[in-house]
Structure 1
Amino acid sequence: MRVIYNEQMAELADLLGGMAGLAGSAMERATQSLLTADLELAEQVISEYDRIAEMITLAEEKAFALLALQAPVAGDLRQVVSAIQIVSDVNRMGVLSLHVAKMTRRRFPAHAVPEAVNSYFAEMGRVAVKMGATAKEVLESRDPERAAKLTDDDEAMDDLHKHLFTLIMDRDWQFGVAAAVDVALLGRYYERFADHAVEIGRRVVFLVTGVLPPDPDSEKESI
């Protein structure tokens, strides 16, 4: 029974890692579509989200099957419960990538954001993709030290988001209210993508050590 349990947990960990990788890839392409007003690329991200959704359903089924059939306790139960919570965070990462792509589609053929803020979104996209890749890595390696470092990238994302918000609130903003609203929404999508990656890192640390690190963004609203 123990061998079967370990095999099933390994399969679930691989599945979670694959989902995180797909979410990061989706955000990379969504960002590119946003910056270039590439409708075809945006449509790819939107249509391929179904693949992430299917994997999420499969991961949930595997996790609940472990609960029902293996009746895990103590450390084993911690692993399964953490996996269920991680599924939710990966799902949100995929959905946030989807939101970015849908913004591109909604504003096409115009660019969804003014050129003046392109550099901000290019950098936010880079940080988000890096965090998605790191989330994949720590889910597969279960390295608590690497997982904890996701907080550093989250701080960089928060700084970018704050600067972006300062721009749209500045009296010299010349692109209108609609553009300001779009920029604010998009900035929030990237910020929350990073937050969910950090939460995955916290869950991996808890999974390995049994100690849940403090939430660095405990005052943030949930999406």
Structure 2
Amino acid sequence: MRKVFQAELHQVGEELIQISTLVKEALVRAADSFLNSDIEEAEEVISNDQRIDFLQNQLDERCIDILALQGPVASDLRAIVSSLRMSSSLERMGDLARHVAQIARMRFPEKAVPEEVATIFSEMVELDTQIIDSVIKLLETRELSLTEEIYSHKARINNLHREVFKMMNAEDWQHSPQVTVDVTLASRYLERFGDHGVSVARKVNYLVTGEWS
């Protein structure tokens, strides 16, 4: 029975890695659609989000079955509860990537991002990509030093998010209300993507140490 239980826990871990890998792909493709007005990429991200949702539901059902049938305690229980919460954060990251792609689709064939903020958004995307890369490695290795990288990248994203709002509030901002709304939402989506990455990192820390970071 114990071997079956450990196999189930291992499968949960593999599914978290699979979901996070799909989330990374969604982010990269959504960013390409947003920055380069690529409608095909946008459509792919929007369509593929169903796959992330399906895998999250499958993982959650597996965790609930383990709780019901195996009655885990101590660290094993911590692993199951943490996995449930991580899957929710990863699914939300996929949703946020989809939201970015939806902005690109709505504005096609025009670019959704004005030139003067394109560089900021490119850096935000790069930092979010590094965050999800570190999340994948963290899930694979449980190497807690990776959490510091995630926190550092998120701090930089926060600064860039504030910079976007400063530019929109400046007197020389001449774009339409719709463009302003798009930029506001996209910046928020990318900032929240990083937040959920931090949330996963904290849950892995809790899983390994039993303490909240």
Match of 2:188 in 1: 188
Contact 2:134/2:149 (8 A) holds in 1: no
1:87-128 per-residue CA deviation (whole Å, 9 max, x = no partner) reads: 110010000000000000111111111121111111111111
1:174-208 per-residue CA deviation (whole Å, 9 max, x = no partner) reads: 11222111101100000000000000000000000
Matched length:
213
Match of 2:153 in 1: 153
The Cα of 1:6 is off from its aligned counterpart by 1.4
Q: Distance in 2 between matches of 1:145 and 1:69?
A: 34
Is 1:178 aligned to 2:178, yes or no?
yes
Q: Which amino acid aligns with 1:95?
A: D
Match of 1:209 in 2: 209
Q: Distance in 1 between matches of 2:148 and 2:119?
A: 27
Is 1:197 aligned to 2:197, yes or no?
yes
Q: Distance in 1 between matches of 2:144 and 2:184?
A: 33
Contact 2:100/2:186 (8 A) holds in 1: yes
TM-score by length of 1: 0.93
TM-score by length of 2: 0.97
Match of 2:95 in 1: 95
Q: Distance in 2 between matches of 1:63 and 1:143?
A: 23
Q: Cα RMSD (Å) of the superposition?
A: 1.0
Match of 2:141 in 1: 141
Q: Which amino acid aligns with 2:78?
A: R
Unaligned runs of 5+ in 1: 214-223
Contact 1:148/1:202 (8 A) holds in 2: no
Is 1:30 aligned to 2:22, yes or no?
no
1:74-113 equivalence runs, <5 A = 74-113=74-113
Identity %: 37
